[in-house]
Amino acid sequence: MYSITMKDLAGKPIDLAKFKGKVVVLVNVATKCGYTPQYSGLQKLYGDLEDKGVVVIGVPSNDFGGQEPGTPEEIQSFCSKSYNVNFPMLEKVQTKPGADQSPLYEFLGTRTGKLPSWNFCKYVIGKDGNPIEFFPSSVKPDSAELRKCIDAALAVTP
């Protein structure tokens, strides 16, 4: 993952290598989805674990039900005002396979054999930049199975 450069919602390049040595919870997000209230749990997870080396990264996508139609400014404003989100948010990308698929999701799909089938799917990525586990939308940010995976990833020495 560390060889990939993306852009944040402001359009500034983000070298994913800056997250080396951290456990990353990467989530494809959308502001108009039934799972959108998970932003609250994702922010709590980030707030609780940031000082332990966990980063939550939101990656907006309009691939499922057209549920992320907003501009980068609208997405940022919604996340800040509605859920006080302060974890990193990347630019809106395509998660599905095809010519326009984000290199990030191409990497994740190749490494895990799994791509999001709806909004708010989660990947836990180890300190070495390799995906450890994929969780579907129904797994909430405060679920025991997600937390167990994060804790195990934190325990690994890179």
Q: What residue spans define the domains of the chain?
A: 5-149
Question: Which class is domain 5-149?
Answer: alpha beta
Question: Model-level pTM greater than 0.85?
Answer: yes
Residue 10, Cβ neighbours under 10 Å: how many? 11
Provide the Cα torsion 36, 10, 63, 55; round to 10°.
-60
Per-residue confidence in pLDDT tens, the chain, 158 aa: 999 999 999 999 999 999 999 999 999 999 999 999 999 999 999 999 999 999 999 999 999 999 999 999 999 999 999 999 999 999 999 999 999 999 999 999 999 999 999 999 999 999 999 999 999 999 999 999 999 999 999 998 86
Is 149 part of the annotated catalytic residue set? no
Residue 115, Cβ neighbours under 10 Å: how many? 19
| Catalytic residue, candidates 33, 79, 121, 149 | 33
